[in-house]
Amino acid sequence: MRAQLRKYIDDLSDKVRKACGFDDNRFPVDLELCVANIGGDMVRAERRPQSIIEKVGSESFRVSVWQGMSPSKDRMCVAHELGHLFLHMGFCVDEDNWNAFSAGQEDPKRLFGYMDIDYEARSFGLAFLIPRYALEHEVWKQQGGGRVDLKPIAAHFGVAADDVREQGQWLGVFYRDFWPWLSTLVAVPWTTASVDGHAS
């Protein structure tokens, strides 16, 4: 994905998180509350697919998530679907796009049949749940030896360690791990030492 697009997605996720009434430091992000605060509701479905977003009314939507997933996977699926809602269905972003969807039409791929749609939604989901300022702060708390343990960071954000690794590498907060057998650790660039302004 082009860096410019990913930057746009990161910025949009920040705006949406604020619009949802999220308190900057209360991690993990309360997705139930966020969805409710912007006119959506959430359903746990007995059957797959993993997750679906659908328009319910002119200002409302529904996220359905299969109930058989782990809590971290469940959270990432909800955030992913919010990515589709804003990026691909235009909710609160592009009125014409949003109006082109009719209630009950849940699959944006019908209108946007291109490959990157899920990658973009995932990028939104990662940025929504693991914002840069908060990730840098968690990394800073662990400073020492130039490596961090992803497990406590993943627990802090309510996501999987691989999600933290992916987002941190994209943001440049982490270097790639040179030692794959240390599966929860990644190297940290020295520049993260400068994020102590975020300490609370």
* Chain contacts with Zn ion (rule: CB under 5 A): 118, 121
d(CA 174, CA 51): 30
Q: How far is the CB of 29 from Zn ion (least distance, A)?
A: 19
Looking at the Cβ atoms of 128 and 174, the one nearer to Zn ion is 128
Q: Cα 133 vs. chain centroid, distance in angstroms?
A: 14
Query: Is the Cβ of residue 117 or residue 155 nearer to Zn ion in the bound state?
Result: 117
Residue 125 CA neighbour count, 13 Å, CB half: 25
Q: Strand, helix or coil at 54?
A: strand
**Comparison of 68 and 189: residue with beta carbon closer to Zn ion:** 68
Closer residue to Zn ion, CB minimum distance, 85 or 154: 85
Backbone angles phi, psi at 153, to 5 degrees: -70, -40
Under DSSP, the state recorded for 88 is I
Residue 16 CB, shortest distance to Zn ion, in Å, is 16
Task: Report in angstroms how near the CB of residue 64 gets to Zn ion at its nearest.
Answer: 13
CA angle, 76 then 142 then 72, to 5°: 15
Min. distance of Cβ 144 from Zn ion in angstroms? 38
